[in-house]
Copies of this chain bind each other. A is one copy, B any other.
Amino acid sequence: MAAHILGEPGPAQRRAVAKAITLVESTRADHRAQADALLTQLLPHTGRSFRLGISGVPGVGKSTFIEALGLFLIAQGHRVAVLAVDPSSTVSGGSILGDKTRMEQLSVHERAYIRPSPSAGNLGGVAEKTREALLLCEAAGHDVVIVETVGVGQSETAVAGMTDMFVLMQLPNAGDDLQAIKKGVMELADLVLINKVDIDADAATRAQAQITSALRLFTQHGRGQPGEAVWRPQVLTLSALQGQGLQAFWDTVASFRASQEASGRLQSRRRQQSLAWMWERIESGLRHEFREQPAVRALLPQLSEAVAAGRLPASTAARQLLAARHTPLSQEPGPAAG
């Protein structure tokens, strides 16, 4: 890893990374310009980590698992970063990863870097800042970046859209899997991990069989290209609390990574993710800009009301609002003209 603006690993680099992440999380325009320049400069030093997404409902044992996995990976010589995507953190005042005591040993380890979820107000903003933090951690030489999310809302899709492998953690309960299937999360999973096998090994085995057969059904209906060696999502059991199953888990991750790299899928997934991210930000910017236009601000309340009340066709209202931006506002009655 070449020396660059973030410096060599150590306390000074840790402070530089924290400062850089704070910079990309800022909403000030001058900070944003600096952040763009920094990211562009660091981009050649990114992309060399393995990006692992981990999701699961509260109580599934994500922190315990990530701490155990992080320490396991550090013992093998890796440098681990842990980030989080939690759009609810603005409301709750920072939930996942906010409490440093959740990963007591990992959070103080010099070869680990842990950052709570940014509280940027909406999922798009939170996801963007986490993507940028991920790049900064890579530039600092972390070779495994874990992005954690809770199993609520659309945050799983966001995390699956910024990682190389998406792992869904499940409890050994029947019904739990149906919720994941229903919400479309199961379909995102490259690996399903049934935690807390120590509590009820029989239930875990039953859940493993159930989820395996459910996943088989999805895989039949096309994932990957024809002729390509298709990765069949695995279902593993594990006890994060007892540290049991970590080696098998990491072996499976390594085998996934090798197959994705060999087939070129890893590279094409990252390309697609970057382009999707660009368009997501463009559309978010267009929506914001639209709502801020004086003509739109003037017309939107009454047109929305007319549409909701059934007095104006929705498509007509949309066309009127789009057209209104290009006509001067001076004809509109307003305090200045009235």
Contact = CB atoms under 8 A, between A and B. Distances in A.
Interface of A: 32, 36, 39-40, 43-44, 46-47, 128, 131-132, 135, 175, 178-179, 181-184, 186-187, 214, 217-218, 221, 270-271, 274-275, 277-279, 281-283, 285-287, 289-290, 303-304, 307-319, 321-322
Number of copies: 2
A147 B41 CA distance: 53
Contact of A308 (B32, B175, B221, B275): B275
Instruction: Give the dominant DSSP class at A's interface.
Output: helix
A110 B274 CA distance: 55
Contacts of A181: 178, 181-182
| CB-based closest 10 A-B pairs | A281-B318, A277-B314, A278-B314, A271-B308, A39-B313, A286-B286, A285-B322, A36-B316, A282-B318, A274-B314
B184 A307 contact: no
A181 B214 CA distance: 11
A183 B49 CA distance: 32
A319 B182 contact: no
A275 B307 contact: yes
Nearest to A24: B315
Given A131-B315, A321-B282, A322-B285, A270 B46 contact: no
A182 B289 CA distance: 36
Given A32-B319, A40-B313, A282-B290, 7 more contacts: A43-B311, A43-B313, A131-B315, A179-B221, A182-B186, A278-B303, A281-B315
**Which of A32, A47, A277 is the most central at the interface, judged by chain B CB atoms within 10 Å of its CB?**
A277
A217 B314 CA distance: 34
Given A43-B313, A46-B310, A184-B182, A287 B283 contact: yes
